[in-house]
Amino acid sequence: MKFPSPVSIQWVADFLGAELVGDKNGQASGINEIHKVEKGDLVFVDHPKYYDKCIQSEATFIIINKVVEPLPPGKALLVVEQPFEAYLKIVRHFRPFEPATKMISDSATVGKNTYIYPSAFIGHHVIIGDNCIIHPNTTILDHCIIGNNVIIQAGTVIGSDAFYYNSKKDRDSWYKKMDSCGRVVIEDDVEIGAGCTIDRGVSHDTRIGKGTKMDNMIHIGHDTVTGKNCLFAAQVGIAGVAAIGNGVIIWGQAGVSKTLSIGDNAVILAQTGVPSSLEGGKIYFGSPAEEASVKKRELVWVKRIPELWKKVMG
């Protein structure tokens, strides 16, 4: 999430009641979680396992529960007892909850020749481009952006909260919700089927690339980015922070795990499970996913096991 304008890191430290260590003259441009941080961002870390990863990341400012040295030049630590709670305090300050009072918010912007069916909900600060069709019972939640020539079928939800929790087993509540302050950005010429859900980024953008077509009942997780002209069949599920290349085809009921990439023009056959990154330009099948030609040969041999067993046992 980018702030409306850069904020003095000293102001942030005072706001959080944090000890400021390092560069005290910086300006924070936004707040992000570790997978999406950029220069000028704030990030939080509350476990020694991830101290170095956060400090060496692109983030300029680190909300942390311990002073860690050495600190790279130009960076600053904001030391607090509970970094996660400090993160939430910043998110709620810059992206506060706004109750809805009508089906289409007055702060939403709707382009020319766009038709919104009755019973569709359009949240605060949503931007919808020209020549779109938004079907009944579609929900487009706050701050999401819809490009031109987009079709969204009935019952789809754009911008639902990320399935993202800060979990620790040494406290009464194992799972604490990490407030979602990111957006969903749908580029031009995208078509989205009925009953789909596209989660907003935790603190950045979930993005659907230009020309992508999605069937019914598809789930896209937080901060996932798809390339241009992808094709997703029914009941595909893609977890958070996946990077899907251009021209990727994923057939029905395939599942894609988190924080991985799929290269351009890959084809994922139906019911395939993708646990790790895949090269582009190949066809994949099975769980775990392998090149389809290899997996099909394996299946032929599996079917022959009873016959081979009889021969071995005589």
Q: Residue 285 sits in a domain of what CATH number?
A: 2.160.10.10
Q: Residues 138, 194: contact at Cβ < 8 Å?
A: no
Same domain? 263 vs 139: yes
What pLDDT does residue 169 have?
Answer: 65
Amino acid 201 reads G
pLDDT, residue 311, reads: 80
How does residue 170 score in pLDDT terms, banded at 50, 70 and 90?
low
Same domain, 70 and 134: no
- Report the residue count for the chain: 314
pLDDT at 226 over 90: yes
Residue 74 buriedness (CB in 10 A; 0-12 / 13-18 / 19+):
exposed
State yes or no: pLDDT of 172 exceeds 80: no
Q: Note whether residue 301 is domain-resident.
A: no
Count of beta carbons in the 10 Å neighbourhood of residue 55: 19
Q: How far is C-alpha 124 from the chain's CA centre?
A: 20
pLDDT of residue 189: 98
Burial of 292 (0-12, 13-18, 19+ CB in 10 A): middle
CA–CA gap between residue 185 and residue 222 (Å, rounded): 12
Q: Taking phi first (over 0 means left), then psi (-120 to 50 degrees means alpha), and beta for anything else, what does residue 9 get?
A: alpha
pLDDT score of 298: 85
Residues 190 and 287 in one domain: yes
Q: How far apart are CA 264 and CA 276, in angstroms?
A: 15
Q: What is the pLDDT of residue 200?
A: 97
- Report how far residue 176's alpha carbon sits from residue 94's, in angstroms, rounded to the nearest whole number: 20
- Active-site residues: which are they? 222
The rounded distance, in Å, linking the Cα atoms of 108 and 226 is 25
Overall average pLDDT of the 145-172 stretch: 90
Closest to 278 in 3D by CA, of 294, 270, 289 = 289
Beta bridge partners of 275: none
Instruction: State the chain's mean pLDDT as an integer.
Output: 94
Q: Is residue 261 domain-shared with residue 226, that is, in the same domain?
A: yes
Q: Which one has a higher pLDDT value, 229 or 36?
A: 229
What is the percentage of the chain residues whose pLDDT exceeds 70?
A: 98
Tell me: the pLDDT tens digits for 67-82?
988 889 999 999 999 9
- Residue 197 shares a structural domain with residue 279: yes
In percent, how much of the chain has pLDDT > 90? 84
220 with 260, same domain? Answer: yes
- Is the domain of 222 the same as that of 253? yes
Residue 49 burial (10 A CB sphere; 0-12, 13-18, 19+): exposed
In a domain, residue 100? The reply is: no
Starting at the earlier edge strand, list the strands of the sheet with 191-192: 115-116, 133-134, 151-152, 191-192, 213-214, 231-232, 249-250, 267-268, 283-285, 290-291
- Domain of 67, CATH number, reads 3.40.1390.10
Is the four-CA dihedral 304, 307, 308, 309 of positive or negative sign?
Answer: positive
- Residue 113 domain-assigned (yes or no): yes
Residues 70 and 208 in one domain: no
- One-character DSSP codes across 247-264: T-EE-TT-EE-SS-EE-T
Distances (CA, A) of 105 to 102, 115, 235: 6, 15, 31
- Tell me if 231 sits within 8 A of 268, measured CB to CB: no
Give the single-character DSSP code of 19. E
In a domain, 40, yes or no: yes
Chain segment 94-109, per-residue pLDDT in tens: 999 999 999 999 999 9
**Higher per-residue pLDDT: 62 or 309:** 62
For 242, the enclosing helix (H) or strand (E) is none
Does residue 103 lie within any of the structural domains? no
The neighbour count for residue 160, using CB atoms within 10 Å, is 16
Write down the pTM of the prediction. 0.92
In Å, how far are 45, 266, 300 from 261, measured between CA atoms?
Answer: 25, 11, 29
**Do 70 and 218 have their domain in common?**
no
Domain annotation covers residue 242: yes
Q: Are residues 69 and 201 in the same domain?
A: no
pLDDT for 20-56, tens place per residue?
999 999 999 999 988 889 999 999 998 888 899 999 9
**Of 2-6, 235-239, 263-267, 292-296, which range is least confident?**
292-296
Give the pLDDT confidence score for residue 118 in this predicted structure: 97
Residue 104 domain-assigned (yes or no): no
Tokens of 148: 């031109």
User: What residues make up the domain containing 69?
Assistant: 2-94
Reduced to 3 states, what is the DSSP secondary structure of residue 300? helix
The answer as to whether 303 is a domain residue is no
The number of folded domains in the chain is 2
> 198 and 291 in one domain?
yes
pLDDT digits (tens, 9 = 90+) for 177-214: 889 999 999 999 999 999 999 999 999 999 999 999 99
| Least confident among 76-85, 122-131, 164-173 | 164-173
Residue 217 near residue 239, CB atoms below 8 Å: no
Least confident of 92-106, 249-263, 297-311: 297-311
* pLDDT > 70? residue 275: yes
Cα torsion angle, 81, 37, 50, 68, sign = negative
Q: Is the pLDDT of residue 168 over 80?
A: no
